[in-house]
Amino acid sequence: MATQEALISVIMPVYNAEKYLAQALDSLLAQDYPNFEIICVDDGSVDTSKVILAGYARQNARLHVVRVKNGGQARARQVGIEHAKGSFLAFMDSDDLVHPQWLSTLAEGMQTPQVDMTVVNYYNYIGSTKIKARSFRAPVFTIEGDDKYRYWLEDHDLRGYLWNKMFRSDLFKKPVPVANFNLLEDAYFIGQLLPRIDQIYFVDQPRYYYRFNATSSVHAKFQKRDLEAIHQLGAVFLTLAREKPELTSLAVRRYAALSLFVLSKMSPRQLVANWGYAQQLGMVLAQYTREFQGIISAGDATMLAADNPGKASLLGKLRAWSHLLGLPTFDDLNKLAGRESDVPKKES
């Protein structure tokens, strides 16, 4: 079929990825789908990544290297999109692995004319342990309309990742706004794309191997630009809360999850310095108390918004709120990290 022969552009941002880059490229070049190009955007690497990329480019005509000054993964992806020639786009991280049928499974899902995005399942590698992500609601299904926002906000089958998805390149005729932060920039990217998407096709087959990296932006210590995630991604959540009343509770919950996650990464001193973000969170939750009946109370929201940042229990208060809302904290994720070990290069 024509779709099976369509050119796919795989975009891979690369920054100081020498440890796993060769494994990632080997797994990608072993795809059973024949017609694809690889666009590796070297985001100012200072290790041997550029040497590894040059060697692979010499041996593989389908692999193209673009070098840019370091500007972060989101901007590197945007450069890759600008260079892509394929009818479909897929994204891969430079320290992960892909199943040999990653591209063919995704391309199969794109055969329906109305489908703009296909999603497959994946494995997590945490230390030496391989864990299959939660199963989808059905082996194969399609969603459309406002369900696409619901699934994104619920963060279950759709999730906020780019690497387990394929997109029609037509979606990118109008540039997608670039996140000015590295924390959860994938989720922001997808949130910006959703209004352009008609249907999303899901296939509950694990075709991607995500390597848990304790040094990634999600798991790293607090950085000042993490606050931009609250400004930009948080604004997307709150816009949905205003424009789609039936999704208000989910949207505000995601805003709360994001804010609590960023705040829980801070030291007590940093939290005091940025206490305005905790107050803002408290005010937002107080504003939407009706939507959270049975989960929070107006008293809880008032307490969080109170202007008393000098107490030693600030972090404890935030962790208590995370527990109240059923949200994971930075500390919860760090408990899963452990020590990283090498991952098998391929699995069928």
- pLDDT tens-digit readout, 133-167: 999 999 999 999 999 999 999 988 999 999 999 99
Structure tokens, 15: 């920054």
Question: Could you tell me which residue, 184 or 342, shows the higher pLDDT?
Answer: 184
Burial 276-289 (b: 16+ CB within 10 A, else e): ebbeebbebbbebb
Tens-place pLDDT, residues 2-20 = 445 899 999 999 999 999 9
pLDDT for 74-109, tens place per residue?
Answer: 999 999 999 999 999 999 999 999 999 999 999 999
pLDDT of residue 8: 98
Is there a contact between 142 and 112 (Cβ–Cβ < 8 Å)?
yes
For residue 338, name the pLDDT band (cuts at 50, 70, 90).
very low
**197, 171 Cβ separation under 8 angstroms:** yes
Tell me the average pLDDT across 262-284: 87
pTM of the model: 0.85
Check residue 272 and give its pLDDT.
84
Q: Which two tokens stand for residue 340?
A: 């990283």
C-alpha 317/C-alpha 301 separation (Å) is 12
CA distance 105 to 33: 9
- In this prediction, residues 21-26 reach a mean pLDDT of 97
User: Cα(56)–Cα(50) distance, rounded to whole angstroms?
Assistant: 10
